[in-house]
């Protein structure tokens, strides 16, 4: 990286010298959860980990043994740096706004390595300017330039003057030549992808040797809710619905998504529907509920999926990975950006179906769920993907990639 190759010598570990790592992530659990086992593993190996994300995730981060930090203040929002614009247009302005604060921290902490989420380009910028080795953590699918441009076009995102100026500044003042598409994945020449290669779309122009696919590792969970939300009648087929932790807060109109699915199965005693809704206001409005519908704030998703026949979700990479790892067919209702790419990939792999919001009717939901539940072809495909993905998870330790073989 930055024109040189860096490999951590094994003597570094043998002599038990403490290595310091700083992690920069965004706020969504879909980006945080996949990194938690990695963080726990690094801490167990004697690595000091400083992890930047939102205050809401403080306890979660500290449960791994890492030190949590905010981005200079607890009320930091990327939206403050390009107000009123699409969040994609706020990412690079946020990176430049954070740069002085995080640069000062780097001078003080002098970390051996920077890990950064692919949607947190400030990690790439800081590593470059401070000449610190870095690894990009890809918690979405790794997307080629063509796929990124398709995504921007489909969401009608056009670069604005502020982002043009920032890219010029990065090139002229920082000697870092990035394209605007980096806001959908600021990869470098050492990337850990929390997915499997057979699930990811073709890398096209990206160098495959720069991408280490380690499987869909996910975060720590509790079993406290499990028995209270599973059906008493074990003959009932469980359908689980979860739209992530961000969408229900950003777009209250998704209440109709929940209502449609609940109406579809509320009177059918063959099924048991579990719905996770983190937004208190929305959760109170989806009723009335029949006995075979359980609506809760959160679920221990990995454990619930072990008992699930069909998984309905928004197309977040965390949900896709967990669905495949559990061998559960998926009905994907994408909301924005990479969720459409992820949903299309699920369909291409024959691991599930996709419904766009304008197609979301009770009849369509019922037909697709029943097909997923009873189609031998889909069941066979998802089981094969499960086996392949879990073999990858068992075979590759991302902490070992970082500690023994960082070559960029």
Q: What is the pLDDT of residue 5?
A: 41
Same domain assignment for residues 142 and 234: no
In a domain, 5, yes or no: no
In a domain, 73, yes or no: yes
In a domain, 4, yes or no: no
Cis peptide before 99 (omega within 30 of 0): no
Same domain assignment for residues 153 and 212: yes
pTM of the predicted model, to two decimals?
A: 0.79
* Number of compact structural domains in the chain: 2
Same domain assignment for residues 212 and 201: yes
pLDDT band per the 50, 70, 90 thresholds, residue 389: confident
Same domain assignment for residues 376 and 338: yes
Same domain assignment for residues 206 and 266: no
Q: What is the pLDDT of residue 75?
A: 92
Residue 219 reports pLDDT greater than 70: no
Q: What is the pLDDT of residue 349?
A: 94
Same domain assignment for residues 129 and 110: yes
**Sequence-distant (≥ 6) Cβ neighbours of residue 301 within 8 angstroms:** 218, 221, 240, 242, 276, 319, 322
Rounded Cα–Cα distance for residues 127 and 144 (Å): 22
In a domain, 3, yes or no: no
In a domain, 289, yes or no: yes
Task: Give the tens place of pLDDT for each residue, 107-131.
Answer: 999 999 999 999 999 999 999 999 9
CA 57 vs. chain centroid, Å, equals: 15
Q: What is the pLDDT of residue 247?
A: 77
Residue 262 reports pLDDT greater than 60: yes
Q: Average pLDDT for residues 20-30, to the nearest whole number? A: 93
Q: What is the pLDDT of residue 348?
A: 95
In a domain, 241, yes or no: yes
- CATH number of the domain where residue 154 is located: 3.40.50.2000
Same domain assignment for residues 52 and 159: yes
What DSSP designation does 209 have? G
Q: What is the pLDDT of residue 397?
A: 76
Same domain assignment for residues 202 and 329: no
pLDDT band per the 50, 70, 90 thresholds, residue 30: confident
Same domain assignment for residues 174 and 205: yes
In a domain, 1, yes or no: no
pLDDT band per the 50, 70, 90 thresholds, residue 54: very high
Q: Average pLDDT for residues 218-243, to the nearest whole number? A: 76
pLDDT band per the 50, 70, 90 thresholds, residue 15: very low
Q: Please give the residue range of the domain that contains residue 97.
A: 10-219+392-404
Same domain assignment for residues 100 and 203: yes
In a domain, 251, yes or no: yes
Question: Which phi and psi angles does 325 have, rounded to 5°?
Answer: -60, -30
**Sequence-distant (≥ 6) Cβ neighbours of residue 178 within 8 angstroms:** 121, 124, 167, 170, 171, 186
Same domain assignment for residues 111 and 130: yes
Same domain assignment for residues 208 and 233: no
């Amino acid at each position: 990286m930055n024109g040189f190759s860096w490999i951590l010598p094994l003597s570094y570990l043998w002599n038990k010298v403490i290595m310091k790592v700083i992690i920069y992530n965004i706020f969504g659990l879909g980006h945080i959860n996949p990194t938690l086992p990695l963080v726990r593993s690094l801490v167990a190996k004697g690595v000091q980990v400083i992890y930047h994300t939102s205050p809401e995730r403080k306890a979660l981060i500290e449960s791994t043994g890492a030190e949590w930090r905010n981005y200079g203040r607890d009320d930091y929002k990327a939206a403050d740096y390009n107000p009123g614009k699409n969040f994609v247009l706020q990412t690079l302005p946020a990176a430049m706004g954070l740069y002085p604060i995080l640069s000062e921290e780097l001078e003080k902490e002098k970390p051996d390595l920077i890990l950064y989420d692919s949607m947190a380009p400030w990690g790439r910028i800081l590593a470059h300017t401070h000449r610190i080795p870095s690894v990009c953590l890809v918690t979405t699918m790794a997307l080629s330039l063509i796929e990124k441009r398709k995504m921007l076009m489909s969401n009608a995102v056009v670069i604005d003057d502020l982002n043009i100026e920032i890219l010029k500044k990065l090139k002229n003042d920082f000697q870092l030549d990035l394209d605007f598409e980096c806001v959908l994945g600021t990869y470098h020449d050492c990337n850990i992808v929390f997915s499997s290669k057979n699930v990811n779309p073709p890398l096209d122009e990206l160098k495959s040797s720069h991408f280490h696919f380690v499987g869909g590792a996910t975060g720590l969970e509790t079993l406290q809710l499990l028995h209270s939300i599973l059906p008493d009648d074990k003959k009932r087929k469980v359908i689980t619905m979860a739209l992530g932790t961000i969408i229900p807060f950003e777009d209250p109109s998704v209440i109709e998504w929940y209502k449609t699915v609940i109406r579809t199965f509320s009177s059918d005693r063959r099924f048991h529907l579990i719905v996770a809704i983190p937004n208190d206001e929305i959760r109170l409005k989806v009723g009335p509920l029949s006995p075979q519908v359980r609506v809760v704030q959160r679920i221990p998703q990995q454990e619930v999926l072990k008992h699930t026949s069909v998984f309905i979700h928004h197309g977040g990479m965390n949900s896709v990975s967990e669905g495949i790892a559990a061998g559960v067919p998926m009905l994907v209702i994408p909301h924005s950006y990479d969720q459409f790419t992820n949903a299309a990939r699920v369909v291409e792999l024959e691991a599930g179906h996709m419904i766009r919001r304008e197609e979301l009717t009770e009849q369509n939901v019922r037909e697709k769920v029943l097909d997923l539940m009873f189609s031998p072809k889909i069941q066979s495909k998802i089981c094969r993907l499960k086996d392949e993905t879990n073999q990858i998870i068992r075979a590759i330790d991302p902490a070992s990639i970082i500690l023994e073989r960082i070559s960029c």
